[in-house]
Amino acid sequence: MDFEQLIKTMAPGTVANLRRVIELGRWPDGRGLTAEQRGSSLQAVIAWENLHLPDSERTGYLHQRCGSSKNHASTDDDQDDHTILRFRDA
């Protein structure tokens, strides 16, 4: 079975399990994921989502408009889009 066939036949439960494995960094039996396993699992999840989910439900989806499409004239609304973070030494 090749990668595309595997992705087409994966059950939603399998994808949910792979997501959890990626999040935790270990298999259900406690063994850690290698970098290669994590990459392959993530690739499988993203490919499955591409076939079965709308854009707004896929991994990595950000609902925002492109910053370059904004009118660059200074307005009060622009002030709400910026946040300044200040870190203090403990």
Per-residue pLDDT of the chain (90 residues), as tens digits, is: 898 999 999 999 999 999 999 999 999 999 999 999 999 999 999 998 988 878 777 777 777 766 665 555 555 555 556 777 677 765
Structure tokens at 51: 């076939």
Alpha helices in 1-90 (DSSP H): 3-9, 12-24, 35-52, 76-80
Q: What is the pTM of this model?
A: 0.64
CA 43 to chain centre: 11
* Confidence (pLDDT) at 55: 76
Domain tally, the chain: 1
Per-residue confidence (pLDDT) for residue 56, from 0 to 100:
74
Say which amino acid occupies 81.
Answer: D
Please give the residue range of the domain that contains residue 43.
Answer: 3-61
Mean pLDDT, rounded, of the chain:
81
